[in-house]
Amino acid sequence: MFNTMYRMVYPFLGVFQTSLGVTLDQMSILMTVRSGLGAIVPIFASVGDSYGRKTAMLLGCVLFIGGSALVVISPTYSMFFLAMILTMVGKLIFDPSIQAYVGDRVRYQERGRIMALLELGWSLSFLIGVPLIGLIIGKSGWMAPFPLFILLCSMTFIGIGKTLPADGKKKIRQEGEKHSILQVFTSTLALNGLLVGLNVSAANEIINLVFGIWLEDTFNMKVAALGATTAVIGISELIGEFMVATFVDRLGKPRAIFLGIGLNSLASIGLPFLARSVPGAILGLFFFYVTFEFTLVSSIPLMSELLPNTRATMLSATSAGHSLGRSVGALLAGRLYRFGLSANLIGSIILNLIAASALALLVRRKSL
């Protein structure tokens, strides 16, 4: 539900733009502001450490319901803008809180499987949620999904309120104790972990942003390439998450991440050889995304164990690191592409090597 709301704006951007009677620039401002919230996510998610996981999840639902209701009450651009911001903040509070809840209750040795299953909500939102929203919009108009979101999230709120155990007493910070955000950003372990996620995400984005352009330039098949790429992304995400659920606890989290980084680098090396035809290029892209998703999802249980006392804030900082990595990758992608796709592939491999080095330092400092 949270992920479908987040992801539906991209394919239906034109529908929302036309229905609201605004320009593409105005929609771009909205998307920029919403994406920027990812960089300050620890501020929101520290609620889960300060007031408890259940309380934070319920707060995330309230914000999501409130944001969706704004569009129903007043279907204008300003209310739509505010709705996207409120639902995004709700997601930024909810996601790390549910991950921290699992981290509190599931042994580290088994946590990778459970967290990977949680991540299925991300890929299935793209494969099931977004297409369903498309059918609803096509039949009943652009506003139709929002009452449904209100209903679903209200059910979620009631379900969490009734089934999850109480958080217990509010955590009181002792005199001289750092705020959870400061604990994360002054920890060498945490910073090493964040560096892994940042570089892995940047390595992916360097290829992600230009591969469609490269297909268009090389094969002049833009529409077909984009359609195939969309399907590849969703399916590869799903397969990557199932692979994590199956293997990460058996391999061990660090070993799985090392394996994912290595395979992703091999996928980058192999892309020029596969990408001599459109099917080969799509196959190469599939392997690239599968190995990236495997690496990223394998890192979540590891990050959940670095600072157990500030688990929600640590996991939200991880998400912020991924957002920053995507920004770095986006900044580099176009500049590197001026020298051809090979420059992007080399850049991706270098960033993966930096991630592997940071992970090696982390493992040397803490047995995981």
The whole-number pLDDT of residue 295 equals 96
Q: What is the mean pLDDT of residues 26-33?
A: 85
Q: How far apart are CA 204 and CA 288, in angstroms?
A: 8
Distance of CA 223 to CAs 220, 229, 244, 267, Å? 9, 10, 32, 24
Given a contact cutoff of 8 angstroms between Cβ atoms, the answer to whether 64 and 91 are in contact is yes
Q: Do residues 315 and 266 touch, judged by C-beta distance below 8 A?
A: no
The tens digit of pLDDT for each residue in 258-314 reads 999 999 999 999 988 887 887 888 888 899 999 999 999 999 999 999 998 888 889
pLDDT of amino acid 226: 54
Most confident of 33-47, 212-226, 303-317: 303-317
**Identical fold, 2-163 and 180-365:** yes
Which pLDDT belongs to residue 180? 75
Q: Rounded CA gap, 187 and 192, in Å?
A: 9
Average model confidence (pLDDT) for the chain? Answer: 88
Q: Quick one: pLDDT band at residue 154, thresholds 50, 70, 90?
A: very high
Write out the two tokens for 296.
């990223």
When pLDDT is averaged across residues 65-76 and rounded to a whole number, the result is 96
Nearest to residue 196, comparing CAs of 300, 316, 307?
A: 300
The single-letter DSSP state of residue 129 is: I
| pLDDT (0 to 100) of residue 178 | 62
pLDDT of residue 228: 58
CATH of domain 2-163: 1.20.1250.20
d(CA 289, CA 348): 13
> Distance between CA 99 and CA 49 in Å, rounded?
12
User: Residue 89 pLDDT more than 80?
Assistant: yes
Long-range contacts at 147-152 (CB < 8 A, ≥ 24 apart):
147/68, 147/72, 149/1, 149/5, 149/64, 149/65, 149/68, 149/87, 150/65, 150/68, 150/69, 150/72, 152/1
Query: Does the pLDDT of residue 354 top 70, yes or no?
Result: yes
* Closest by Cα among 266, 271, 12, 2 to 133: 12
**According to the model, what pLDDT value does residue 344 have?**
93
Domain chopping of the chain, boundaries:
2-163, 180-365
The residue length of the chain stands at 368
Between helix 311-337 and helix 77-105 the angle, nearest 10°, is: 120
Range of weakest confidence among 89-103, 190-204, 207-221: 207-221
The more confidently predicted of residues 222 and 328 is 328
pLDDT in tens, 74-87: 999 999 999 999 99
Confidence bin at 32 (pLDDT 50/70/90): confident
Q: Within 13 A of 164's CA, how many CA atoms are on the CB side?
A: 22
Q: What is the mean pLDDT of residues 38-67?
A: 84
Q: Is the pLDDT at 225 greater than 90, yes or no?
A: no
pLDDT over threshold 80, residue 218: no
| The predicted structure's pLDDT at residue 300 | 94
What homologous superfamily is domain 180-365 in, according to CATH? MFS general substrate transporter like domains (1.20.1250.20)
> Residue 163 pLDDT > 80, yes or no?
yes
| CA-based torsion, 307, 313, 315, 320: positive or negative | negative
Q: With CA atoms as reference, report the closest residue to 63 among 87, 44, 43.
A: 87
Residue, of 125 and 208, whose pLDDT is higher: 125
Residue 280 φ then ψ, to 5°: -65, -40
Can you tell me the distance from the alpha carbon of 173 to that of 351, in angstroms, rounded to the nearest whole number? 38
Alpha carbons 98 and 110: distance in angstroms, whole number: 16
In this predicted structure, the answer to whether residue 175 has a pLDDT above a threshold of 60 is: no
Q: Copy the structure tokens of residue 162.
A: 């009734």
pLDDT at 222: 54
Whether the pLDDT of residue 147 is over 80: the answer is: yes
Residue 170 predicted with pLDDT over 80: no
Mean pLDDT, rounded, for 176-186:
74
